[in-house]
């Protein structure tokens, strides 16, 4: 992006940060980042495909991860794949299937969610120059701003499968029904948040549910916070004033994860 007047903050910036980190964490080549992005699209955006098409589309994912597991079993390194292959649960080594599932989950859950959260944060600042100016003048507000961006633009929603018939607050639930859990809606609950529909980057009490709640709460929440904080710090060190480039469309993803896929900006001031 360097000195360009027009940039795409999603494609040229946000997408690269979690991809590079997850690759390094797993001990996989940094240059394979584009493949990781494609894996995310296959898994998250292919959920509505017919079963046969979904299985066929998933094959490149298996063709990449399985050989990586075999290679680390024969030649261990200090990456997460080797760590999982060496790990034990109650004296039993993890199966290759378990390791495969863990790495796939890390790639899918740790990449798209984070780049979407980073992109949504930059989108907000492009649309709200007063918040951008405050963060430039008062960088100490960034931690609370990150939490507020997570609350206001929570990138993930989840679903749960009903185990047995029951009734919840007058609503009948049947076994094998799917229940949609909208974390973004919970984060706009006026009974839980003052001025719930306003984005307040200095909000002091912010018990949002962007990372879920209870025993299924996101294990990578602190890593995601760190990535968001560093990504926004570095962005704001370079770009102190910017706006949406309305000559190009801003597009958002569809499906379980929501965030900008295209975020064209015009850079007005830089350091």
pLDDT, tens digit, 9 for 90 and up, residues 124-179? 999 999 999 999 999 999 999 999 999 999 999 888 899 999 999 999 999 999 99
Domains of the chain and CATH, by start: 6-152+224-270 (1.10.630.10)
Backbone angles phi, psi at 202, to 5 degrees: -110, 20
Q: What is the pLDDT of residue 107?
A: 87
Helix, strand, coil fractions of the chain, as percent rounded to 5 = 55, 15, 30
Q: What is the pLDDT of residue 114?
A: 95
pTM for the whole thing?
0.91
Helix 96-127 to helix 51-74 angle (10° resolution) is 110
DSSP state of 204: S
Q: What is the pLDDT of residue 251?
A: 96
Using 50 as the pLDDT threshold, list the residues of the chain that sit under it: none
Q: What is the pLDDT of residue 34?
A: 81
Q: What is the pLDDT of residue 181?
A: 87
d(CA 212, CA 161): 16
Q: Which of 141, 132, 137, 61 is nearest to 103 (CA)?
A: 61
Q: What is the pLDDT of residue 98?
A: 94
d(CA 99, CA 86): 10
Tokens of 199: 């984005």
């Amino acid at each position: 992006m360097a000195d360009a007047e027009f940039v795409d903050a999603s494609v040229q910036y946000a997408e690269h940060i979690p991809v590079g980190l997850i690759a390094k964490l797993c001990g996989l080549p940094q240059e394979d980042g584009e493949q990781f992005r494609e894996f995310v699209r296959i898994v998250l955006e292919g959920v509505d495909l017919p079963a046969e098409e979904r299985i066929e589309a998933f094959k490149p994912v298996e063709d990449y991860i399985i050989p990586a597991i075999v290679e680390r079993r024969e030649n261990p390194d200090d990456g997460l794949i080797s760590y999982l292959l060496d790990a034990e649960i109650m004296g039993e080594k993890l199966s290759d299937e378990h390791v495969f599932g863990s790495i796939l989950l890390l790639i899918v859950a740790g990449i798209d969610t984070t780049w979407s959260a980073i992109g949504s944060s930059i989108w907000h600042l492009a649309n709200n120059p007063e918040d951008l100016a405050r963060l430039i003048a008062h960088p100490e507000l960034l931690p609370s701003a990150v939490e507020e961006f997570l609350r206001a633009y929570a990138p993930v929603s989840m679903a749960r499968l009903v185990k047995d018939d029951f009734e919840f607050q007058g609503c009948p639930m049947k076994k094998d029904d799917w229940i949609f859990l909208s974390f973004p809606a919970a984060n706009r609950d006026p009974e839980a948040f003052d001025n719930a529909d306003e984005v307040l980057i200095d909000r002091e009490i912010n018990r949002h549910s962007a990372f879920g709640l209870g025993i299924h709460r996101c294990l990578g929440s602190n890593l995601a916070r760190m990535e968001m904080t560093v990504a926004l710090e570095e962005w704001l060190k370079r770009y102190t004033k910017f706006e949406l480039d309305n000559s190009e469309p801003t597009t958002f993803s569809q499906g379980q994860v929501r965030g900008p896929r295209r975020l064209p900006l015009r850079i007005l001031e830089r350091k």
